Structure 1
Amino acid sequence: MKIILSNLFLSLSIITTCIGQKKEEKLVRESFNSYKTSILNDKGEEAVNFVDSRTISYYNKILETTKKADSLTLNSLGILDKLMVISIRYRTSKKDILSFDGKELLIYAIKEGMVGKNSVMNTEIGSVEIDEDFAKGQFISNGKKAPFYFHFYKEDNNWKVDLTSIFPVGAMAFKKMIEDNGEEENKYLLQLLELMTGKKPVNEIWKPII
């Protein structure tokens, strides 16, 4: 009888764990889908509710770099960081830059299209793996699995996406485009800014705000 009861409790424990895991997986997917919907509809205030503290910290860092970095510092940055800084300097007033915090900068970047819809359009989350308060969901684009993952962290009892987890992939893609075009990096980024805004960037974007 003791063996039977022991096996019963073990089975119930496994079932309970599996149910809990499935529930968490569902919540991870819902978090990503909510972020995706917000981005595609330019709803910055909504989107920031689904990103984690690591993402906000990144934008705080980008904001400080935007304010203070000289051309030498800018040219030492990774390609995505550099593009973000010069985009903010070129497309945002000094008054706004000085008034923003990291969260407000992210909201602004989403509304102005600096956080591109292409990053989530035609994408979804595939298999989800959960380890306590960390989860990762496989990136699927146009129905095809990619060998990288969105990371999620549970904060304030809600799953939130860490946008910085896919930055390395984006950086590699940018570098490949530049190599394929045979362009020098800064020249390519300036051309990209001109294409996005219809205006030729000025030298001031390489200079500190303060």
Structure 2
Amino acid sequence: MRDLRHKLDRTWMTASRLTPQSGGRCVMFISAREGEGTSSVAASFALMAARKSQKSTWLIDLDLRRNAMFAAFENGFVRDAGEPGRAFDASLKTDPIYTLTPPGVDRGSPNAANKLFTVHEIKKTRLLVSRFRNEEMRAGQRVQLRTQPEWWRTVRRAADWVVVDAPALSRSPAGLAMAAQMDGVIIVMEADSTGAEELIGLRREIETHGGTVVGIVMNRMGADARFADRLAG
């Protein structure tokens, strides 16, 4: 994962023009395939948002089993941000945005299964990064995301920005399930690699699921990250 903040000024300008449904702005980054740099773009954008936030910025990693965002900050993703701090319950007293199959966990209160999703304040910033507590799951148990509009409305009230890192569509449809909850969706593509048909197909999928695509980041990792403001057509 790389720090791309110095290359995302136009992305920031476009996202800042989004009109939130209520409360803080909510923007999602997604790609068609793995390895296109989506997590680098999302984390970098979230750091930019945190510096401008009066309340806080929440960085939500929808790839619950990997927790790649949390691991990146834990491993010193950027020099001017600290390590993740203590865990806070991210359930926000609402139904969780995930389900467990079979339900329940082995220990704790009857509601323990609803509190596996946490956020951690990144020291020296106003950024909170999500983590799913996979270690509390039973052997063979599965976790699946589900749409919970009330949770998204609640987190918007708690934060100035909600930045969502969705897994690539080739890996999981999780981003599509949450697209309708966003103010805008930004597609990340590896420049000179992802084909136009693939890009158009992803845009169509997002819009079919109620999302609004506001642009693309054409990403060359470590070389360039150019933003195309609002897709034509």
- Structure 2-normalised TM-score? 0.23
Q: Greater relative contact order (Cα 8 A, min sep 6): structure 1 or 2?
A: 2
Structure ranking higher in strand proportion: 2
- Structure 1-normalised TM-score? 0.24
Structure ranking higher in helix proportion: 1
